Structures are given as C-alpha cells and as structure tokens.
Amino acid sequence: MTAVSVNAYTHSVTYVADNILKSLKDIIRLSGMDPAALIGKWESYERALKVWLASKHLQKIVLEFYDPNTDKLVDRWDIDIVYDWSDDGAFYTDTDQLRYAIEKVGLVPSSARYRIIMDNKRGRPDVEGWAPTEYRSTDGMVRQSLGATMEHSGLGGSTAYWRRV
C-alpha cells in the first residue's frame, strides 16, 4: 500500500511540475515574449520543481516581467501550490482560463525581460543553481486570482496575476 501511494504522489509531482512549466511557457509566449530563456533552463526549472514539490517546501512560483532600464515590475503571475494530496486520480489543467486571463492583461512591452522565482518554506533542500532572492515591488498593483488552474490528485496550483490599479 505504501509503495502505491509513493508512486502515485511521484506521478502527481511530475504532472504538476510539467504543467507549471507549460503554463509559464504559455504565459510568456502569449504575453508577447520569447520563451527561449525558459526553454534554455528547462531542466533546472524542472529539477527544482520536482525536488521542492516532492519535499512539500514549494509555496509559490512567481513570473516577473520587468523593465530592464528601471528594474520595475511590469506584470506578475503567481502560481500558489496546494498540497491536498489524495489518491483519487483526479487531474486537469485549465489552459483556457489562463489564455483568457492573458488576453485580458495584454502584451508586455517588447523591451521587457522576465525571471522565474520559486518561493520555498524554510529548511528546503538545496538545488544546484538556485538561491534565495527578493521580489520586485507590487506597489500600485492589485492581485487578481484565477483559482485552481491545475491539479493531480489534490496536488495543484492556483494562479493569479497582478494588474495596475
């Protein structure tokens, strides 16, 4: 019984990690940016996601679009991690909901850059190439929640974006 649960949770971790990366790629691409920087570091992102989802240290993934001249935030997307794992076999990814929200937010300026931050609880295992960092300020912005956008047996992600007030 334990081996089945461990294998099922491992499958959930893989499903959610894959769909987080695919969702980030879609957000970047549909926001008018080139996802090459994400794709170039795909293995590093995937490794970090799987380690921290498996250890249950990952709290949130943040995609920041910023102006490289001023270093100010232009747009931000958050994927909050939900750990309500059960062995019920339910799974989904709501790409339509993401696509609709991206259309509402609109394109980012072509001069913008992006970075991905993974926010963890204290005591997280180290993953090569990853270190703590600070978020850019969201002053003058408000968070809009989309709700659950991906799940596999209760392990999932709830997505939100930040917009100017």
Q: E strands within 6-154?
A: 58-66, 73-83, 91-93, 113-120, 141-152
Measured CA to CA, the distance from residue 141 to residue 138 in angstroms comes to: 5
Does domain 2-164 match CATH 3.30.70.1280? no
CA 62, distance to chain mean position in Å, is: 6
pTM of the model: 0.90
pLDDT at 161: 97
pLDDT at 3: 44
Give me 104's structure tokens. Answer: 């509402």
Is residue 154 within 8 A of residue 84, CB to CB? The reply is yes
Nearest in space to 23 (alpha carbons), one of 3, 49, 4, 1: 49
Domain boundaries, the chain: 2-164
The pLDDT tens digits for 61-108 are: 999 999 999 999 999 999 999 998 666 667 778 888 889 999 999 999
pLDDT at 11: 86
CA 123, distance to chain mean position in Å, is: 20
**Within the chain, which residues score under 70 in pLDDT?**
1-7, 85-89
Measured CA to CA, the distance from residue 48 to residue 53 in angstroms comes to: 8
Measured CA to CA, the distance from residue 55 to residue 67 in angstroms comes to: 34
Measured CA to CA, the distance from residue 72 to residue 80 in angstroms comes to: 22
